[in-house]
Structure 1
Amino acid sequence: MNTSQQDLLHLLEERGFVHQITDRDGLGKALSSGPLTAYLGFDATADSLHVGHLQGLMLMRWMQRAGHNILLLIGGATTRIGDPSFRDSSRPVLNDAQIAHNMSGIAKVFSAYLEVGDNDGSAKVVDNADWLDGLGYLSFLNTVGRHFSINRLLTFDAVRNRLDREHSLSFEEFGYTLLQAYDFVELAHRHGCTLQLGGADQWANIINGVELSRRQGGPQLYGLTMPLLTTSDGKKMGKSAQGAVWLNGDKLPAFDFWQFWRNCDDRDVGRFLALFTELPMDEVRRLSALEGAELNQAKIVLANEATRLCHGEAAQRDAEKAARELFGQGEQSGAVPSIIVSRADLQAGLSLTDLLVNAELQSSRSAVRRLADGGGLRLNDKVVQDPDALLTQEVEGGRLSLGKKRHFHIVIQD
């Protein structure tokens, strides 16, 4: 991945990483004039990142490989508030122990995509609690608050949309954008950071940081936002029928991660190959131009490349092998996801309907029955006619199939 500085911005645009830039010409010159430092922020609202964060991780990977410095900001302080951008309600309040646990889980995935450490050129993890926790309220109002008018803040889409819907917006959340602006200025002071990356919903927050630096007489700062990603069927990137597609292996097995990419919509293949693999764009265009059954090979390439980056080559090979065995009707592999069944629940009386709803693999009991009525529910390759019938011990080790693409290994535990 030997990308010249002159070509880096063009490459990022070609691969689909760029939505808006505060000053494209200025950023292009800054990228060409020597290594700059960029940061991307993550609030610690869960103990893993999911594929919705993967676009940002891949963008930073390209930048680091081009010789630029990367800061990974985890919001130990701002997580206590929660970014209100384009949300209809406040985030759940987390205590310090929960935030610390989540920060530890999030940090695990960084090293899969970036060189992280204390060496020169390595990405560094920073926590905004280091400077926000000791910031006095009056000092903050004087150094930051006086540079922003309430009139202007009320024009931001994230704020206006919340108020237009008459949903509550706390003063604490209202001030989040000022804290993010302060983060940018503080990182510029501490680490020479001049570029903030973020999703398209962060545009107003990023602009505030750029403006705050200018008004305080600080360095020229830049912002770059990425498109907000949804799949072609309208789902938010990072979600699946089973829930979030986590990046940490202890939250989601590599096989399930591989299957997520293998089962993506045909319309998404080219876009995902460009964003989530390192394949040359000529190869991306060739694969995305395939049609019919041949397009499935492109999806396998996508699944292999994305899984190799996230989980490593060994896990990628195991996942691909497990899929071949499963869909080739061969012996089952331990990589196939499992559904855990309590022996006590089984003895007390448990149906497939109960099992699928309890495991959140189906949204309701009626959804299970509709699936069965359509012939899409199979146990050991036999169509299940009555999903409400009680299960027996004989289901242990069985294979449960939901449609053509979702398969699970039933495991009974005491």
Structure 2
Amino acid sequence: MAAPRLSRRCCRAAGLFGALRRARPPGTRHVHERPQRARGAKGLLAAQSERGLFQDVFPAQGADEQLEALLEPGRPPVAVYCGFDPTADSLHVGHLPAVMALLHFQRAGHTVLAVVGGATARLGDPSGRERPREPLEAERVRAHARGLREGLGRLLENHRALFWAAGGGRPLGRAELLDNAWWLGREPLLDFLCGAGGRLRMGTLLSRQACQARLRSAEGMSLAEFLYPALQAYDFLHLHRHHGCRVQLGGADQMGNIMSGYELVTKMTGTDVFGITVPLITSTTGDKLGKTAGNAVWLNRDKTSPFELYQFFVRQQDDIVEKYLKLFTFLPLEEIDHIMEMHAREPEKWGPQKRLAAEVTKLVHGREGLESAKRCTKALYHSSVEALEAMSDQELQELFRQAPSAELILEPGMTLLDLCRKANAIPHGHSGYQKITDGGVSVNGIRVTNPETVLILGQHILKNGVSLLRIGKKNYYIIKWLQL
């Protein structure tokens, strides 16, 4: 696909795509595999190929000129959509590349459509699966869909409020949250089969890699799963007709579904439409991050706290952090280069990891979520009494999810030994007493070795009426003091 001449950095970014190279369906092309053409400023496609965000484009033939011209600055905005099936009530980190792709289109002034699959989730996407999904009840899917729409709404609002600012005087594109149950639920079966069903070819659907893999599996493939690509293709047709949608975004494992949508829209309308895939995010073992693999890092606070999300990105290794800075932040590439250069000089400061964690946490949880993550980090890893005193009950529960809690009344002359025994933190008798004298107990991050130490307000009991008791290295107890 034709694009502006790429800089040396873009050539380096192409190495990322080379590492992701795989057998692809005919008619697709990696975004960086474009003829070089002299031009001034980079277009959206070239800019995002440098970041590693746009991976494959379909169809390759004709997209060289048409898609690039369609996205040319100064032209009318294009509607772009991406679907999210509500198999859970929260998005997770694996969804972030698709969300970031939508946001980059919105920043370029285009209209973005985030579509929750309230209908298709009941069938189950067979892509990348060896066995069918567990069927979901209609009410559960509706509840999940509400959760996803709320989560997508928060991301869109946090981006607008915290990352767009004035946008250099350019208008931010329009965003809409939709649910395909709103149209698929009203589509009569016979109308669907006689209309869209008559244009989709069985041979093409059967040839898809996801379909072939499932047909060869021991459990086979249900009719419901087989029709999933047809319904997703109908989504593209509906969005094209009612919203002028010309581009579908999806994960790298969605290319077969995207191709079905392209086939249906072009056959029924004659309009040129396009698909763009984004890379999949995998764990260190190569598994796709998500609910199915059991390794999801959720974007809803009740599932993964701001602190836990922040720490997930802080713990990323050097060989992945630059890629994630390009994928998951809006930082200019020149600034990312500078961050990595500083990291090479001072690797002990973990500068790229901290910046990555801060940017993502702020996008997902807002400014207060980022401050919460930093308070929890200081309290847990830097024994900061000030951070502990500033923490809310919610933050304490999030930080010490498995920690027992106790509500106690401070009695005159109450000692550390009394506290430990009332909280059932140490065994009664000599062994518990010795646990303290051996240095195995700390209060608010300060080790106390005298069991007869009398508890003091402002030292052992913080201003917020809380004491954090630690036994050994990992056993925490949250003490809430009453009637202080």
Pairwise same-fold verdict (TM > 0.5): yes
Q: What amino acid does structure 2 have at the position aligned with 1:309?
A: L
Spell out the pairing of 1:182-331 with structure 2 (5 A cutoff).
182-238=234-290, 243-289=295-341, 290-291=343-344, 293-294=347-348, 296-331=350-385
Corresponding residue of 2:109: 67
Contact kept, 8 Å, 2:52 with 2:326, in 1: the verdict is: yes
Contact kept, 8 Å, 1:255 with 1:337, in 2: the verdict is: no
Q: Which of 42, 46, 50 is the aligned partner of 1:14?
A: 50
Offset of residue 152 of structure 1: 2.2
Q: Secondary structure at the match of 1:49?
A: coil
Q: What amino acid does structure 1 have at the position aligned with 2:314?
A: R
Distance 1:98 1:156 in 2: 30
Contact kept, 8 Å, 1:78 with 1:128, in 2: the verdict is: yes
Distance 1:313 1:276 in 2: 17
Q: How many residues align?
A: 362
Q: Which of 65, 76, 100 is the aligned partner of 1:34?
A: 76
Q: Secondary structure at the match of 1:212?
A: helix
Distance 2:42 2:369 in 1: 36
Contact kept, 8 Å, 1:85 with 1:202, in 2: the verdict is: yes
Distance 1:27 1:412 in 2: 61
Q: 1:47 to 1:410 in 2, by over 3 A?
A: farther
Contact kept, 8 Å, 1:75 with 1:127, in 2: the verdict is: yes
Q: Secondary structure at the match of 1:195?
A: strand
Contact kept, 8 Å, 1:232 with 1:268, in 2: the verdict is: no
Distance 2:181 2:382 in 1: 52
User: Structure 1: 5+ residue runs without aligned partners?
Assistant: 344-349, 352-377, 382-395
Question: Which is higher, the Rg of structure 1 or of structure 2?
Answer: 2
Corresponding residue of 2:130: 88
Corresponding residue of 1:392: none
Offset of residue 205 of structure 1: 0.8
Distance 2:43 2:209 in 1: 33
Offset of residue 94 of structure 1: 1.6
Comparing both chains, which one has the higher relative contact order based on Cα–Cα distances under 8 Å and sequence gaps of 6 or more? Answer: 1
Distance 1:5 1:93 in 2: 49
Offset of residue 174 of structure 1: 0.4
Q: 1:99 to 1:240 in 2, by over 3 A?
A: closer
TM-score normalized with structure 1 length: 0.78
Contact kept, 8 Å, 2:153 with 2:177, in 1: the verdict is: no
Which stretch of the first structure deviates more once superposed, 161-170 or 191-200? 161-170
Distance 2:324 2:471 in 1: 29
Tell me how large the CA RMSD over aligned residues is. 3.3
TM-score normalized with structure 2 length: 0.68
Corresponding residue of 1:129: 181
Corresponding residue of 2:150: 108
Which stretch of the first structure deviates more once superposed, 37-46 or 280-289? 280-289
